[in-house]
């Protein structure tokens, strides 16, 4: 974890008025694990938004000293980020325990929902060179919000899409679509990132496959000091920012 200033190199509007991709340069780029997030300051605090905003990393390039995020405009902080054309922002990089894939794993199913999809790209980015096969299942509300598909198509062994309205891919929940394929794929591991209702559906499938989920929570400090981000687990409350964000699905009380 490191305190740095990140330089905005590009800010691309992927969906009008809603979803953006930002590319940052950081000469002092720390080590990164897939699934980790950054805590990004809303300017230099002159906008009355004191708390930093947690956003997951989409892509990370250690050699180029760059990384990318994809975010949806929700409120004050993300609106501010969406308007940036350059400049520097204070940030804490990189936070959370991230996803790890044990040695010997051959097939991984990635299951993403909405803005939880982009961070899964960083998993393939890190582990693809180890010869692991990635079966990627991404669920969105509609075609309009289905971002980063070309990126995933380029690196996944198979990419499957589902939307709530059927405007692209199957008209179903992505967990149902995955369930239809799971016996055929036989993944050794499931990694997932998305909203809690999706995790509940995933847990309800009751699969005998190790499954790890990246939880989201409202955050204060992002570094384990304030306990704002507590989530209930079978061994008591845990901090999403420090003990997670990745937890074994069996441990979290969803
Ligand atoms: C570990 C982590 C990783 C995240 N990664 C991403 C990402 O890659 N892309 C992305 O678009 N968003 C991500 N989020 C959510 C993002 O942090 C919030 O959308 C953002 O902080 C909202 O700030 P704001 O000032 O725009 O809105 P605010 O004015 O603070 O809030 C507006 C609305 O946004 C929603 N919101 C606020 N905080 C969160 C939160 N922590 N989780 C979910 N919804 C929230 C609430 O509905 C709230 O009413 C992540 C959150 C966490 C905890
Ligand atoms: S946000 Fe402060 S402990 Fe997690």
Q: Does 2-95 carry CATH code 2.60.120.640?
A: no
Task: Tally Cβ neighbours within 10 Å of residue 173.
Answer: 18
Determine if ligand 2 sits within 6 Å of the CB of residue 225: yes
Indicate if ligand 1 lies below 6 Å from the C-beta of 218.
yes
Strands 211-214 and 230-233: unpaired
Q: Which superfamily is assigned to 217-254 in CATH?
A: Dihydroorotate dehydrogenase, electron transfer subunit (2.10.240.10)
The pTM of this model reads 0.96
Residue 181's SS3 state is helix
How does pLDDT run along the chain (254 residues), one tens digit per residue? 899 999 999 999 999 999 999 999 999 999 999 999 999 999 877 677 889 999 999 999 999 999 999 999 999 999 999 999 999 999 999 999 999 999 999 999 999 999 999 999 999 999 999 999 999 999 999 999 999 999 999 999 999 999 999 999 999 999 999 999 999 999 999 999 999 999 999 999 999 999 999 999 999 999 999 999 999 999 999 999 999 999 999 999 99
Q: Characterize 51-60 residue by residue with b for buried, 16 or more Cβ atoms within 10 angstroms of its Cβ, and e for exposed.
A: bbbbbbbbbb
- 38 alpha carbon – ligand 2 mean position (Å): 13
User: For a pocket test of ligand 1, which of 37, 74, 113 has the largest count of ligand atoms closer than 8 A to its C-beta?
Assistant: 74
Please give the distance, rounded to the nearest whole angstrom, from the Cα atom of residue 109 to the centre of ligand 2.
29
Q: For residue 79, give the DSSP letter.
A: H
CATH tag, 107-214: 3.40.50.80
Domain ranges of the chain: 2-95, 107-214, 217-254
SS3 198: helix
């Amino acid at each position: 974890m490191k305190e740095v200033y990140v330089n905005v190199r590009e800010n691309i509007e992927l969906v009008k008025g809603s979803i953006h991709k930002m590319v940052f340069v950081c000469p002092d780029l720390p080590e990164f694990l897939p699934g980790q997030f950054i805590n990004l300051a809303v300017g230099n605090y002159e906008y009355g938004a004191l708390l930093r905003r947690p956003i997951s990393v989409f892509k990370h390039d250690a050699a180029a000293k760059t990384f990318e995020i994809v975010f949806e405009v929700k409120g004050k902080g993300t609106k501010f980020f969406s308007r940036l054309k350059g400049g520097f922002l204070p940030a804490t990089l990189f936070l959370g325990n991230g996803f790890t894939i044990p040695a010997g794993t051959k097939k991984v199913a990635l299951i993403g929902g909405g803005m939880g999809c982009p961070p899964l790209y960083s998993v393939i980015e890190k582990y693809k060179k180890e010869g692991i096969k990635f079966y990627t299942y991404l669920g969105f509300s509609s075609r309009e919000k289905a971002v980063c598909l070309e990126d995933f198509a380029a690196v996944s062994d198979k990419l499957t899409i589902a939307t709530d309205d059927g405007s692209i891919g199957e008209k179903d929940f992505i967990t149902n679509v995955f369930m239809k394929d799971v016996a055929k794929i036989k993944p050794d591991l499931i990694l997932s990132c998305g909203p809690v209702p999706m995790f509940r559906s995933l847990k309800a499938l009751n699969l005998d496959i190790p499954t790890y989920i990246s939880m989201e929570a409202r955050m204060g400090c992002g570094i384990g000091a304030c306990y704002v981000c507590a989530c209930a687990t079978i061994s008591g409350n845990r901090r999403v920012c420090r003990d997670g964000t990745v937890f074994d699905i069996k441990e979290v009380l969803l």
